[in-house]
Chain A
Amino acid sequence: MLKPANVPNYFRAVSQVVSNQLTAGNQAAILPSKSIVYVPYTGTSALALSRALPSGNVSVTTGPAVSTQVRWAHTDITVPDFSAYRKDSVKSPNVRSSDSEDSRKNFTYLIASAFGVGSAYSAKAVVSQFVSSMSASADVLALAKIEIKLADIPEGKSVTFKWRGKPLFVRHRTQEEIQIEQSVPASSLRDPQHDNERVQRPEWLVVLGVCTHLGCVPIANAGDFGGYYCPCHGSHYDASGRIRKGPAPLNLEVPEHIFPSDDLLIVG
């Protein structure tokens, strides 16, 4: 029990006086010492507070010769045992740690690599998810192609379909038209293309119904060349969809198309 009355016992300093084996000389005279009475400054006045503060150059001395450390000699505390946290290969004091250095490094780097592999896998999954969201969805892909039954188009007729939001002309050409278009020299054209470059089968012409001038829809079987005629600014296309007269700079565009059978055309 620590009582206030007992406290001074714990703070009692023990001093040891060692005799220096010298005899003090007799004093010739005893001077009366002035008794100085220090009156502590009390109160909370500005003067009292300022006097209570240390004045002048305040310095704290520390260094090798001046010990500021208090070290209690506790010899009964054992050094903690960290062997539970240490690797087995470095526990023995008789084994060189450099012998197991590579295996310890390998373990650490293997763990780091495993995290690397995991993050690369996750990153790839995230990226491919976002990239695949940009690809065309099933409904868009369903509209990307059009199947046309060729038997429904009589000879000499041009039929318009809607394909990818644009008009598509499929023209069943007569033998006469084929002969005329085949015999046109490509050098005489504004956008030189022979008829064979534009059709896969001579009797079927597949072109986009968009005038290359300003994007109007040409009228089939009209114009000076018997093919298409754009009413907006008077561009004349022939039966191969090539520009022959008027402001349009290019031939009508031929989309990718295949004939899987004699009776079927697939555009797209």
Chain B
Amino acid sequence: MNLLTGLQFSKQFPKKMGFQQTVYNLVFKRTSTMALACVASVFFFERTFDLGSEYFFDKINEGKLWKHIKDKSQ
């Protein structure tokens, strides 16, 4: 109900609703939706960050890790 208040407000005062205003009204205006957006983006962030850091760790330690020398030692 309250989520629509911003939309109704902009209907009363017709103004071109830009991208920034849409984002603000839908996400950042209320703390609950902002927290929800944070939690939702953590899933994607975690996946990306973990994979990226793993990739860089392997890149930096190229040739030193067991999975790199496994084939040579067997």
A-B complex is real: yes
* Contacting pair A124 B42 (CB below 8 A): yes
Whether A120 contacts B39 by the Cβ 8 Å rule is: yes
Shortest CB-to-CB span from A113 to chain B, Å, is 5
CA distance A74 to B24 in the complex (A): 45
The interface size of chain A toward B, counting residues with CB under 8 Å, comes to 13
In whole Å, how far is A127's beta carbon from the nearest beta carbon of chain B?
A: 13
**Quick one: which of A94-135 are within 8 Å of B by CB?**
102-103, 105-106, 109-110, 112-113, 116-117, 120-121, 124
B28 touches A124 (CB 8 A): no
> Nearest CB to that of A116 among chain B residues?
B38
In the assembled complex, which residues on chain B have CB atoms less than 8 Å from the CB atom of A106? Answer: 20, 23-24, 28
List B residues 16-57 near A (Cβ within 8 Å).
18, 20-21, 23-24, 27-28, 34-35, 37-39, 41-42, 45-46, 49
Measured CB to CB, the nearest residue on chain B to A119 is: B38
- Tell me which residues across on chain A come within 8 A of B46, comparing CB atoms: 121, 124
Q: Cα distance A124–B38 when bound, in Å?
A: 13
Among residues of B, the one whose C-beta sits closest to the C-beta of A104 is B20
Partner of B24, one of A105, A120, A121: A105
A112–B37 alpha-carbon span in the complex (Å)? 12
Proximity string of chain A (124-163) to chain B, C-beta cutoff 8 Å, 1 when within and 0 when not: 1000000000000000000000000000000000000000
- CB of A119 to closest CB in B, whole Å: 9
Kindly report which residue of chain B lies nearest to residue A110, judged by CB atoms.
B28
**Contact (A113, B38) CB under 8 Å given A105-B28, A121-B45, A121-B49:** yes
With A105-B28, A106-B28, A109-B34 as known contacts, state yes or no: A117 contacts B45, CB within 8 Å. Answer: yes
- How far apart are A234's CB and chain B's nearest CB, in angstroms? 58
Q: Mark B45-74, 1 if CB is under 8 A from A, else 0.
A: 110010000000000000000000000000
Question: Do residues B45 and A102 form an inter-chain contact, with CB atoms below 8 A?
Answer: no
The answer to whether B35 and A116 have CB atoms under 8 Å apart is yes
Which residues of A143-193 have CB atoms within 8 Å of chain B's CB atoms? Answer: none
Instruction: Determine whether the beta carbon of B20 is less than 8 Å from that of A102.
Output: yes
The reply to whether A120 and B42 contact each other, CB–CB distance below 8 Å, is yes
Q: In this complex, what residue of B is CB-closest to A108? A: B28
**A102 vs B35: C-alpha distance when bound (angstroms):** 18
CB–CB B20/A113 < 8 A: no
Given A105-B24, A109-B28, A124-B46, CB of A117 within 8 Å of CB of B38 = yes
Q: Please provide the 6 A-B residue pairs with the shortest distance between their CB atoms, ordered closest to farther.
A: A109-B28, A116-B38, A103-B20, A102-B24, A102-B20, A102-B21
Known: A102-B21, A109-B27. 5 other contacts (CB 8 A): A102-B18, A105-B24, A113-B28, A116-B38, A124-B42
A-B contact pairs, 18 of them (CB 8 A): A102-B18, A102-B23, A103-B20, A105-B24, A105-B28, A106-B20, A106-B24, A106-B28, A109-B27, A109-B28, A109-B34, A113-B34, A113-B37, A113-B41, A116-B34, A116-B35, A116-B38, A121-B49
